[in-house]
Structure 1
Amino acid sequence: MVAVHAISEIADPRKVIQRIYDDDDDRLDGQCIHRLPSAVTKHFSDLFLRADDPRALDQLPSLDVSHPPESYTCGTLVRFRAMIQDTSLQNEMYLAKLSNDRCGGWGIQPAHGDRNFNVFDSDSLGTASIFWAVSVPAESPWRAAGFSRLDSTSFPVHQSSQPHKFPIPGAPHIGVRIKIYDSAGVENLHSTDVVTFVGIASSEPLSMEDDSSPEVPVLHVLCYQVDSASPIPANVDPSVREHVIKWISSEALGGDDDAAEWVLLQLTSKVHTRAIPLLPPSLTISRFPQPSSTDLIPTLSHVFTELIPQHLLIPLSLDLLNKTPFLPESKEEDLHSGYLQLPTGTTILLTESALQEGKLLETGITSVRAIQDVMNSQTVEYIFPFSSKFSFHTGLSMIVLSEGRKSAFFQTSVNVPLQCSSTTASLYKPKDELSLPPAEKIAIYRSYIVACKALSEKVQITEETSKHIQDDFVRRRQQDKSVTPDELIHLMKVARLLAASRLQDEVTIDVWEQAKELDRRRRVSIV
């Protein structure tokens, strides 16, 4: 239900902006225009971005694939949860002070006389920051539904005028030009940030200098908030862990509980620190049988879609690697997206079943290197002409399914050979054949994974356990000179994730021994 005090703001937000301007007692001093953007931001933030009422945003219609820009009239107040794709667009000057004591900006159209550049001075100008934002790529349907309206419009599927600015080729999405008038904090917005914008929907030509330029959706932003980490759920039962492992194992991994446990550790990992560094591991599930048909999707992908907020399946082939960009690249001052321009927290499942003999071209080699860079350093390069490549931090979880003893292209942190105890038919079940737990139970599974992920960066190693680990490593080195410090670092990462998966905030001696045993079974099965 719409709050009474918000009705006028929703019905005519530009009228409200003028009212805020009129209410400034010192508006005639020439500085009111420069104070107005922050006043507008505060006013609408207090209404719709309230910490004490997270559902206040639900009062506003949402801009999404089911409710495309063309389903709203110009001037409608909407919310748009999106990923920032391009921050390199030029800022825009606008008339901030119009005739008859009217304010400008936010798509308010100046009168004809106001367009005469001889009638105003520099104090009448304002600057809007321009971004391009797209629907959150790889977002699971249940997650998207939590931020969108349940009804849908009768409009046909939205056709983006800039499809090259979305990371996933051919996927339905919304692309919008974002205009932010309040400069405070804009420098903290970065590519791949997920942001909820509240603004006035409009449209304008893609290029103001070309009469034949197509129209693009525009959002004149009134306020916004950057997505923060999900709050840690309270009272999550650690026993949920075994239920999640069993479900993943039975539904998607042919009954292999060990493989399912490694998958769980992968899903709950995140970047802890880059200084040491403590980065998410990368995982190969090897000896994964090929599907009977190339169009079949691994059941594991369906399971991920139900468990985690953001998941992307990439069926690797030579054709895909050679022709489809994985890295963002600026072409003629326009940033084209790539598969790896994704929000932090996305889990990517790479399948190698469609790889055939052939030649990997230059683009394909670049793509493989880009994926390996994410695995090794959690960075993605952005390619700009006539300049060096720029690497930006990311936080993507990578899992590879390989038919062979190891991945054909990638060196992952962990290689777990699949050992099916049941028919392999379950590895490629259609989504409608997935045996889903009841809705309330799957919600508990999701909360459990969120809790584990949040805890994974806080796990400590007690002094007693640290001494035990050191003594254990020295003893192993004495018995086997091939044991390296890298193996110790690997086991410590596994132990941290294992502790977090048990909802424990410290690595105990018991957890350390269990981590060693889990890793030992994996190594034995590789031989």
Structure 2
Amino acid sequence: MVQDPSYGEELHLTIARVLNSETGEVRQRFSQYTDVDHSLEEGWEVDYSSTGNVFTEKEVAYCVSVPGQNQWAQLESTASIESALEALSITNTSPHTNGNVDSGDTADSGFEVASGLASKYPLPGENHTAALVKFYSPSAAPKASSVIDVVGIYELGYNSKSQESDEERKVLWPCIHAIYYTDIQLHNLVPSLPRLALSAYIARRDMCLSHLTLVLGGDELAAQYLLLHLLSKSVRVQDAKVGKFSLNLIGVPSCEKKQQQQQKEQSRRFNFNNLATKWIGDAIAQLVPCSVELPFELGLLNRSAFLPNAEHGDLKAGVLQLAPGTEIICDETCLHEGTLDEHGVRNLHALQTSILEQTVTYLYPFQPIDISTNLRILVLSTGKSILQNDCDVYLADTAVRFFAKIQSGTSVDMQPLDPMHTEQIRQYLELARCLDFNIPKDVSDIISSEYADSRRCAHKNGEQMMTQEDLALTVTVARLISISKGQDVLDLASWREACTLEQYRKERATKAKSARPASGGEPSS
């Protein structure tokens, strides 16, 4: 993933005119895709005043392991920086040598190969690998947070921004001189994506729903909304963004005191200590290429940087600088009494902006820049979340008791998915999410007419009228129901199903609020 696309610019003497000071002979030397200066024999020197010299411009990008890439996606793909670099065993010409040093011999020669800068990786405390990728004119470096596949020449070299001390001069960086690169999407990390017939979509949808229902303790309604969430993505239609579907699952038990203490002791890393939220997070991690656990522990919120920051010249990573399509699972059950300072409030505001607007603000000097993103955000909470989400679903009482058992450490008897079905569900989610979708005008006209009729009827009977927000949510649900069936256009059957599903959800919410007025997990503002 491209963390910093503007890490620097370099000039390289690609074609050099060289002179022999003794004989006066003139030659041309060619050099490309390397940082090594022209190595000349005794008596030869570069004629820097020659008009025949050709300089090539290079843009340097700082690239890192894809944040949150799940282990199965790393094993199945060749897009991992770690695996690619470890597989290389070639002779490198590096600036510190005038000759050949094998990549495996750097330790013996007193040089260390850098693995990455902590400040330039979005997830604090996580091991990762980094490489400098150099793009030659006329190619430009790709955008920040994009995931790329690169073919190039591998070399160990210095980091031009880290040469302030003798110790730093002994650190070599993996460097890739890009001959060719292409942007890829996270679905490219899922192997063997086949074309599916419509009947195959239905079968895999049923398989996925059955699995998610088991994960959520038998709660079929919540499982349906979780499936819609996993299929969602933000797309731009004219001047608006549609398709986003952040979800708040309400009713997950909160952390016990012992687990809270564990969270404090590990508060420099993002991981779940609530066994109930970890159960859900682990289940989702088996199905999507990239997922990030984000516990709402006060220490993490107050210390971490959620937004990328280049106010001091170098772009430092923020937690929200993630590859498009990454799943963020927020654990609000660990948010307890304490002080959320100004920095923590800004972090929550940044997360809320990502939910509502699907943008992440990059803090550049003099002018912050909002960059469009595509992050799916799932919030797990005991009471209604402090964040505004697109959809709130109260878990059924059976699911609440199920997660209470898990949270208390009681083992749950659940048959795991076999590898073949797991792979089929992964493929189904990625293929359905990639469908190009539209709403036919005749269906749109019927929906508008029914919306107007429902408002007139509600007004006449003194009932609460359907709002524009209710309409937009129901249309999104209908859109995702169609996609879940492998359909690329909205039909009236999916619209009717969405209306019924929304009715059940609202009825459950009303019942849950009256039965559980004090959930104990909803922090005060």
Q: TM-score range by the shorter chain?
A: 0.7 to 0.9
After superposition, the Cα gap between the structure-2 partners of 1:519 and 1:169, relative to the gap in structure 1 and judged at 3 Å, is same
Conservation of the 8 A alpha-carbon contact between 1:233 and 1:450: no
Q: Which residue of 1 aligns with 2:155?
A: 202
1:355 counterpart (335, 339, 344): 335
Whole-Å separation in 2 of the counterparts to 1:362 and 1:122: 58
Whole-Å separation in 2 of the counterparts to 1:164 and 1:122: 42
Q: Which residue of 1 aligns with 2:55?
A: 125
Q: Which residue of 1 aligns with 2:370?
A: 391
Tell me whether 1:458 sits opposite 2:445 in the alignment.
no
- CA shift, 1:133, in A, is 0.4
Q: Secondary structure at the match of 1:400?
A: strand
Q: Which residue of 2 aligns with 1:97?
A: 15
Conservation of the 8 A alpha-carbon contact between 1:300 and 1:427: no
Q: Secondary structure at the match of 2:202?
A: coil
Q: Secondary structure at the match of 2:292?
A: strand
Q: Secondary structure at the match of 2:431?
A: helix
Conservation of the 8 A alpha-carbon contact between 2:6 and 2:59: no
Structure 1 residues 293-302 or 135-144, which shifts more?
293-302
Whole-Å separation in 1 of the counterparts to 2:332 and 2:440: 37
Q: Which residue of 2 aligns with 1:477?
A: 455
Q: Which residue of 2 aligns with 1:109?
A: 37
Whole-Å separation in 2 of the counterparts to 1:362 and 1:199: 45
Q: Which residue of 1 aligns with 2:292?
A: 312
- CA shift, 1:291, in A, is 4.2
Q: Which residue of 1 aligns with 2:245?
A: 281
Whole-Å separation in 2 of the counterparts to 1:335 and 1:514: 47
Whole-Å separation in 1 of the counterparts to 2:433 and 2:310: 34
Q: 1:41-65 CA deviation, whole Å, 9 max, x = no partner?
A: xxxxxxxxxxxxxxxxxxxxxxxxx
Tell me whether 1:256 sits opposite 2:219 in the alignment.
yes
**TM, length-normalised to structure 1:** 0.76
Structure 1 residues 418-427 or 483-492, which shifts more?
418-427
Whole-Å separation in 2 of the counterparts to 1:224 and 1:431: 47
Q: Which residue of 1 aligns with 2:95?
A: none
Tell me whether 1:343 sits opposite 2:261 in the alignment.
no
After superposition, the Cα gap between the structure-2 partners of 1:92 and 1:122, relative to the gap in structure 1 and judged at 3 Å, is farther
Q: Which residue of 2 aligns with 1:523?
A: 506
- CA shift, 1:476, in A, is 1.5
Tell me whether 1:147 sits opposite 2:130 in the alignment.
no
AA in 1 matched with 2:115: S
Structure 1, gaps ≥5 residues long: 1-82
Structure 2, gaps ≥5 residues long: 19-26, 88-103, 261-272, 460-464, 511-525
Conservation of the 8 A alpha-carbon contact between 1:158 and 1:174: no
Conservation of the 8 A alpha-carbon contact between 2:113 and 2:174: no
After superposition, the Cα gap between the structure-2 partners of 1:323 and 1:114, relative to the gap in structure 1 and judged at 3 Å, is farther
Q: Secondary structure at the match of 2:425?
A: helix
Conservation of the 8 A alpha-carbon contact between 2:8 and 2:60: yes
Whole-Å separation in 1 of the counterparts to 2:85 and 2:422: 23
1:222 counterpart (160, 172, 179): 179
Q: 1:13-39 CA deviation, whole Å, 9 max, x = no partner?
A: xxxxxxxxxxxxxxxxxxxxxxxxxxx
- CA shift, 1:126, in A, is 1.2
After superposition, the Cα gap between the structure-2 partners of 1:193 and 1:94, relative to the gap in structure 1 and judged at 3 Å, is same
- CA shift, 1:286, in A, is 1.0
Q: Secondary structure at the match of 2:254?
A: coil
Q: Secondary structure at the match of 1:238?
A: helix
Conservation of the 8 A alpha-carbon contact between 1:459 and 1:504: no
Q: Secondary structure at the match of 2:323?
A: coil
Whole-Å separation in 2 of the counterparts to 1:97 and 1:433: 69
Q: Secondary structure at the match of 1:218?
A: strand
Conservation of the 8 A alpha-carbon contact between 2:114 and 2:173: no
- CA shift, 1:504, in A, is 2.0
Q: Which residue of 2 aligns with 1:234?
A: 196
- CA shift, 1:121, in A, is 4.1
**TM, length-normalised to structure 2:** 0.77
Q: Which residue of 1 aligns with 2:425?
A: 445
Conservation of the 8 A alpha-carbon contact between 2:116 and 2:131: no
After superposition, the Cα gap between the structure-2 partners of 1:141 and 1:420, relative to the gap in structure 1 and judged at 3 Å, is farther
Q: Which residue of 1 aligns with 2:313?
A: 333
After superposition, the Cα gap between the structure-2 partners of 1:256 and 1:432, relative to the gap in structure 1 and judged at 3 Å, is closer
Conservation of the 8 A alpha-carbon contact between 2:214 and 2:414: no
After superposition, the Cα gap between the structure-2 partners of 1:114 and 1:503, relative to the gap in structure 1 and judged at 3 Å, is farther
After superposition, the Cα gap between the structure-2 partners of 1:427 and 1:279, relative to the gap in structure 1 and judged at 3 Å, is farther
Q: Which residue of 2 aligns with 1:488?
A: 471
After superposition, the Cα gap between the structure-2 partners of 1:217 and 1:504, relative to the gap in structure 1 and judged at 3 Å, is same
Q: Secondary structure at the match of 1:176?
A: strand
Q: 1:329-376 CA deviation, whole Å, 9 max, x = no partner?
A: 015311100111011111110001211112221211111111111111
Whole-Å separation in 1 of the counterparts to 2:471 and 2:455: 11
After superposition, the Cα gap between the structure-2 partners of 1:401 and 1:448, relative to the gap in structure 1 and judged at 3 Å, is same
Conservation of the 8 A alpha-carbon contact between 2:233 and 2:433: yes
Q: 1:391-420 CA deviation, whole Å, 9 max, x = no partner?
A: 00100011100111x102x10010001114
- CA shift, 1:440, in A, is 1.4
Aligned residues: 437
After superposition, the Cα gap between the structure-2 partners of 1:310 and 1:427, relative to the gap in structure 1 and judged at 3 Å, is farther
Tell me whether 1:514 sits opposite 2:468 in the alignment.
no
Structure 1 residues 300-309 or 142-151, which shifts more?
142-151
Conservation of the 8 A alpha-carbon contact between 1:248 and 1:300: no
